[in-house]
């Protein structure tokens, strides 16, 4: 075989191997969600009010403090957990007490929960309590339309009045 023919054969073999590799770069297609299904994601990050755990300082504690740092209340650094409940179409789908994040437990509690729901309108009720006991100070009920492949989101922003639905 002449050198030119050899080079052509080598090129062909390499090109075929490379083509096979290139084919794997976007085939076969991966389906991550069944047909006729959409997603509702409840995701937020909220730090429970740590003032709930404050208590009056005793005279002894006050005496130990420098005069310019004396405060009537002692508030622990850690935050209390939050409790979240989610009902979808009347069924309790999520009921969790979420601890605060951080090594010292002083970070916000985080919730990120994904629900795959069939296409249609769903009655969604979501409640949040600033403590494990379940005194739900924040709640929202709404009918949410889920389309095929849609990504609906429930966020929470205390400063904006509570739950926000996208």
Partner 1 sequence: MTPDKANDWTPLRLIKRALRRSFDLAERGAARLFSPELNPLAQLGAMTFFLFWIVAVSGVYLFIFFDTGIVDAYSSVEWLSGTHWYHAGVMRSFHRYASDLMVVSIALHILREFSLDRYRGVRWFSWFTGVPLIWFLYISGITGYWLVWDMLAQYVAVISAKLLDVFPVFGEPLARNFLTPEHLSSRFFSLLVFLHIAVPLILLLGMWIHIQRISRPKVNPPRKLAALILAALLAVSLWKPATSQAPADLTRVPVETGLDWLFLPLYPLAESIGAWSLWGLLVGISVMIAAMPWLPPFRRARAAEVDLPNCNGCNRCVEDCPYEAIRLVPRTDAEPFPHQAQVNADLCVSCGICMGSCPSSTPFRRVHDLKTGIDLPDQSLRAVRERVVTAAASLKDTQRVLVLGCEHSAAGGDLGEIVAFPCVAMVPPSLIDFVLSKGLANGVVIAGCNESSCYNRLGIDWTKERFAGARDPYLRKRVPRERLITIWASPFETGRYMAEKTEFAERLSALEDLTPVDADDGGSQDRQGVRS
Whether 81 and 97 have beta carbons less than 8 Å apart is answered as yes
Could you give the CA distance from residue 148 to residue 69 in angstroms, rounded to a whole number? 59
Contacting partner 1 within 72-111 (CB under 8 A):
101-102, 107, 110
For residues 54 and 88, which CB has a smaller minimum distance to partner 1 in the complex?
A: 88
Find all residues with CB under 8 Å of 157, minimum gap 6, and list them.
44, 164
DSSP β-ladder status, 162-165 and 37-46: unpaired
Q: Which span (40-48, 54-62, 118-126, 134-142) binds partner 1, by CB under 8 A?
A: 40-48
Q: Is residue 38 at the binding interface for partner 1, with CB under 8 A as the rule?
A: yes
Identify the CA nearest to 44 among candidates 143, 138, 144: 138
Q: Which of 41, 62, 88, 136 binds partner 1 (CB under 8 A)?
A: 41
Secondary element (H or E) of residue 112:
strand 109-118
The partner residues of 128 in beta bridges, in order of sequence, read 84, 138
Q: Which span (38-46, 74-82, 121-129, 136-144) binds partner 1, by CB under 8 A?
A: 38-46
Q: Is residue 43 at the binding interface for partner 1, with CB under 8 A as the rule?
A: yes
Q: Is residue 24 at the binding interface for partner 1, with CB under 8 A as the rule?
A: yes
Q: Which span (6-14, 66-74, 119-127, 131-139) binds partner 1, by CB under 8 A?
A: 6-14
Q: Which of 74, 98, 150, 158 binds partner 1 (CB under 8 A)?
A: 150
Task: Report residue 147 as tokens.
Answer: 């389309």
Task: Tell me how far, at minimum, the Cβ of 105 lies from partner 1, in Å.
Answer: 11
For residues 74 and 106, which CB has a smaller minimum distance to partner 1 in the complex?
A: 106
Whether 12 and 1 have beta carbons less than 8 Å apart is answered as no
Judged by CB under 8 A, the number of residues near partner 1 is 42
Could you give the CA distance from residue 94 to residue 72 in angstroms, rounded to a whole number? 39
């Amino acid at each position: 075989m002449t050198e030119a023919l050899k080079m052509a054969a080598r090129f062909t073999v390499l090109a075929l191997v490379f083509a096979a590799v290139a084919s794997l770069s976007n085939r076969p297609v991966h389906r991550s969600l069944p047909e006729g299904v959409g997603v509702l994601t409840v995701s937020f990050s909220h730090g429970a009010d740590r003032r709930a755990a404050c208590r009056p300082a005793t005279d002894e504690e006050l005496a130990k403090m420098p005069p310019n740092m004396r405060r009537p209340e002692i508030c622990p650094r850690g935050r209390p957990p939050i409790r979240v409940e989610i009902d979808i179409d009347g069924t309790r789908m999520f009921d969790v007490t979420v601890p605060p994040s951080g090594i010292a437990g002083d970070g916000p509690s985080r919730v990120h929960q994904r629900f795959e729901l069939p296409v249609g309108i769903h009655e969604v009720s979501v409640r949040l309590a600033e403590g494990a006991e379940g005194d739900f100070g924040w709640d929202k009920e709404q009918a949410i339309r889920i389309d095929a492949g849609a990504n609906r989101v429930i966020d929470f922003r205390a400063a904006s009045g509570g739950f926000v639905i996208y």
